[in-house]
Chains A and B, each alone.
Chain A
């Protein structure tokens, strides 16, 4: 089933050979499968192609029923989080050359800890339920000024990491605590809480610290660092969780 991958990818310098690859996909169709099974596809790809280019190629030309989420193709929408060679990544931000050599195999599975609906597509509702549980919205009931609320550059920078989150779920679904205990809000929700707890303009710090102090909150974290390693946007998640822990401990941000 070898087909030539279309010219989807990055600048391929002259003389760079196409790679012959096997792509091993964990497939599951609830309408016909009792359990998930591996299917392998032979493809050619340029080293600079995205893994998503390769998966799109399989869908478009080899196996149209293959199902996954995708949208922006450049790491900002967060749709295409999946397990690639055993690690949580965005398929659109992972280049083929970084995960496989010529003749090698790329292994693709759904992210863990959320119910698999079909192939690589999982039920995101529990993830967004955790998100909603931390009151993920700005709260300031004081009358707003005619212009902007003043905030220093340093205060704004406090939110630089946490507001960078795209809710792709790579962190939460790489967390062993989350796998074992689904009621744990998980790293992504804590990062979102951090974004508001450390916003100098927000007035609901104590309510959010209360949520973080519950048994589904920040104390479940065992500092495994999986989340930080999994984040496709290089957010220092473990560090942010530590900052939230400290804020809970001392009752203030």
Chain B
């Protein structure tokens, strides 16, 4: 089957739905392709809030938000992106409210706001209430609201279509190829512009807050074409995942006054971040937790967790503003946050890196201004470098709406100005070849077993703390797993809903993401934000205040070529000099 749309959006989470809405407003034909059913995207799992300097509860300014974002990103954040973001997000939050999003409210009836990690007033003086929230299901409400608006706008959805390839020729994107899960048919989609918004790849780690579907598909497809992935070494571990399960426990839990405690009940964050304690940014809190555990002060059977303590908070706060996580703790741990301390441990959560883009979402093909005509990206998939080396809590939902909107606007604008590019003959060939390899593999190796080894080894060797020897070992492990992957055989021959085939394909994408990440991390010999190296403990601005661009060596499988891109050290009107990052 062949389809033709002016603008195609890949992914139906927050960024994709916002992009689709805005592309549609640009008077072009739009379709949204998702490997899931609508409203199943992982934006729905975001809990705590969306940060914007509305000033509804306390004085706040976009400059303070911009500063927090830049400092939180350990100065690797592009400051032009941070300035655009901190200004745009204020309007974007009002826009969500005008779309009907049921925000929690202040006593005056305004959008309620609460504290979150790394959000401060007066450029770092004290915590500020900036996170706008809808109880602790803010992402759920954003996803539902944006889907509702797309139903209203009549957006065309291709549900359970798994994108398998992008068609890029002569520096221009011409469309894509997708596998229709229901029929097993391969469809080609011809387009003037394509927007990639398919989310992250947290499933390469054993303990993760990410859905099973977050396997880095489009990042890998981009990378397989010899195009760069930016800042892959920066991967965020959320400090508070439910112990063993990794299920997200919102930072709102600390924003509302929750306290982290070690085995002796000590509030240990007082030692690591004396100014804002439990509300320090995620990289700092995650490392502090791991230090406590390593020094023998962990809790639980394996002493590999710490506790979050809510017991001093009123029941109505716990069961009202934090209802979602209360339910999670009760369901999965059999614990009641009203009276029990809840064991948590850091969980792989968010990719700061991804497909490099400019401020309008246009995909970049190198570190010196080259781009792919007609190809855009937004959301966790993309790296406009708003988050730098460490993303602040609530800035992912903000990123989705601000840069999803921009990608939609600019893709539509581009599509209005150009004719359809030629679609090459046999666009689906690569996909057919990939499926043939998977169906006719020579070995009996099991995709699930390889995936498990990948997840465990990535957790151990490229996790919160890193060092050269472990990562070198991981490079070898990934090469070995890739060799075994070549021999995987899909045993189910059926055409309809062949989920075994899909999962095997996803594993191939995950291996690529892990490869780019490990090579980028091994290459960066400093510690910055979420990238913490035991063998290079200091931040090194003279050598490393630059973005990594990781390219797959198309001539030598398993080889990664590293390039760089300068950091935008100034915004349009504001600039913040790199300083030591203390809280």
Contact = CB atoms under 8 A, between A and B. Distances in A.
A36 interface: no
Contacts of B324: 76
Interface in B298-356: 300-301, 324, 327-328, 331-334, 343
A199 B108 CA distance: 17
B425 interface: no
Interface residues of A, number: 66
Task: Give the one of A9, A11, A31, A234 with max B CB within 10 A.
Answer: A11
A144 to B, nearest CB: 4
A77 B42 CA distance: 7
B274 interface: no
Contacts of B301: 11, 13-14
Contact of A152 (B105, B447, B494, B500): B105
Interface in B496-544: 496-500
A178 B99 CA distance: 31
A10 B36 contact: no
B496 to A, nearest CB: 6
Contacts of A233: 327
A118 interface: yes
Nearest to B494: A31
Nearest to A147: B94
A144 B98 contact: yes
Contacts of B419: none
A164 interface: yes
B148 A72 contact: no
A146 B94 CA distance: 8
A221 B140 CA distance: 28
B500 A65 contact: yes
Contacts of B108: 150
A166 interface: yes
Contacts, number: 169
A225 to B, nearest CB: 21
B487 interface: no
B446 interface: yes
B110 A136 contact: no
Interface in B226-246: 243-245
Nearest to B206: A7
A71 B499 CA distance: 13
A77 B135 CA distance: 17
A118 B40 contact: no
A59 B448 CA distance: 9
Which residue, A6, A138, A149, has most C-beta atoms of chain B within 10 A?
A138
B495 interface: yes
A79 interface: yes
B533 to A, nearest CB: 29
A43 to B, nearest CB: 14
B146 to A, nearest CB: 10
Prevailing SS type, chain A contact patch: loop
A128 interface: yes
B510 to A, nearest CB: 14
Interface string A144-165: 1011111111011001100110
A191 B395 CA distance: 31
B26 interface: no
A148 B495 contact: no
B247 interface: yes
Contact of A151 (B105, B140, B213, B500): B105
A239 to B, nearest CB: 17
A246 interface: no
A156 B44 contact: no
B211 interface: yes
Interface string A1-43: 0000010011101100000000000000111100000000000
A71 B102 contact: no
B124 interface: no
A61 B448 contact: yes
Nearest to B300: A11
A65 B501 CA distance: 9
Given A128-B38, A147-B94, A199-B100, A137 B152 contact: yes
A174 B206 CA distance: 35
A123 B373 CA distance: 38
Interface in B1-53: 36-42, 44-45
B100 A201 contact: yes
A156 B105 contact: yes
Contacts of A14: 301
A11 B211 contact: no
A212 interface: no
Contacts of A64: 490-492, 500
B8 to A, nearest CB: 21
Interface in A43-83: 48, 50, 59-61, 64-65, 67-79
A202 interface: yes
A138 B111 contact: no
Contact of B102 (A61, A132, A199): A199
A197 interface: no
A72 B44 contact: yes
A137 B211 contact: no
Given A64-B490, A163-B144, A74 B247 contact: yes
B151 A136 contact: yes
A90 B141 CA distance: 20
B212 A71 contact: yes
Interface string A85-100: 0000000010100000
A56 B334 CA distance: 22
A166 B140 contact: yes
B158 interface: no
B496 A117 contact: yes
A10 B211 contact: no
B44 A65 contact: no
A59 B149 CA distance: 36
B100 A74 contact: no
Contacts of A67: 497, 499
A60 B331 CA distance: 25
Contact of A118 (B212, B334, B497): B497
5 contacts: A71-B212, A72-B40, A77-B42, A118-B497, A136-B151
Q: Please give me the 9 A-B residue pairs with the lowest Cβ-Cβ distance, nearest first.
A: A138-B100, A60-B448, A65-B492, A150-B109, A137-B152, A137-B148, A64-B500, A148-B97, A144-B98
Given A72-B40, A79-B36, A128-B38, 20 more contacts: A6-B452, A11-B243, A31-B494, A59-B500, A65-B491, A65-B498, A67-B499, A68-B499, A71-B211, A71-B212, A71-B213, A72-B44, A74-B328, A137-B100, A137-B151, A147-B54, A148-B98, A152-B109, A156-B103, A163-B141
